[in-house]
Amino acid sequence: MNLSICTISFRHYLHSIDQIAYWAQTHHFQGIELWGIHAKNLAAQPHYNKEWLSAFDLEISMLSDYLPLEASVPDLMAETMKVSALAKHWGTNKIRTFAGKQGSKHTSDCEKKDIVNKLRMICDYLYSQGQYLVVETHPNTLTDQLSSTLELLEHTNHPALQINFDVLHIWESGIQPIKAIKELQPFVSHFHLKNISSEKYLNVFAPDNVYAASGSRKGMVSLFDGVVNYQEFLTEVMPMFNDVHASLEWFGPNVMDVLSQDCKEVRKVFELNQVRS
């Protein structure tokens, strides 16, 4: 089990990358999922890189960005090359993005074809660089349903295309995460783990709210206290992978306390599963 924290969790805190790395090391994480805007802003200080991070026995597990699929091809590919170079600088071969900005049911066949063509171009470039495009299962994108995610994978049909399996968002779509992982498993290279106390609070994860400093955090709970049964999910999923690579994605308050406790609880499940096997 390779666990990462997300620098996005610290977006409203005055913590440096040095402080975050030291904290992650001392709390037994293996990696850091670096938010794209953080990577771009750190580029002016090139001594922050994979070698610097390895001194903490950490790695960048994934660079999480939002490639502009709505842009022209030249602009899209210029941004892809920029993010690819940043990923190399940090030593990760995984670049996370979203598949569009509207739900699968509200995207026309023509728009879907355009997104697929652009994803294939991005994948061609990243594959030539030894990198992978990791599309997140997320509301209001082409991967908001299990069926639409499978369709996107089939139509893009590229070895560089992988899936970031966001467990809560899969549950939100109406599909049991264990059922979905059984179908998506060959394509999944990363997991996002988070939870909510009730379905009625899912709107707190809407981008306009969750990225805002004054946004509501109502309903956000630690991993094992919400509607998704992570004890069951992790116990079922761990034997399906040689290594499970996951990020604890926390957007609420008390970030260090919550991440530390969730890390301990995930480790307990992992160790119990090892004993049983």
Q: Which residues are catalytic?
A: 138
Residue 174 per-residue DSSP state:
T
Distance in angstroms (rounded) separating the CA atoms of residues 3 and 266? 9
Distance in angstroms (rounded) separating the CA atoms of residues 153 and 134? 11
* Backbone torsion region of residue 37, taken as left when φ is above 0, otherwise alpha when ψ lies between -120 and 50, otherwise beta: alpha
SS (H, E, C) 44-69: CCCCCCHHHHHCCCCEEEEEECCCCC
User: CA torsion sign, 141 to 143 to 147 to 152?
Assistant: positive
Distance in angstroms (rounded) separating the CA atoms of residues 91 and 54? 10
Distance in angstroms (rounded) separating the CA atoms of residues 132 and 167? 20
Distance in angstroms (rounded) separating the CA atoms of residues 70 and 27? 39
Residue 137 per-residue DSSP state:
P
Distance in angstroms (rounded) separating the CA atoms of residues 36 and 143? 20
E strand or H helix that includes residue 15: none
Distance in angstroms (rounded) separating the CA atoms of residues 107 and 174? 19
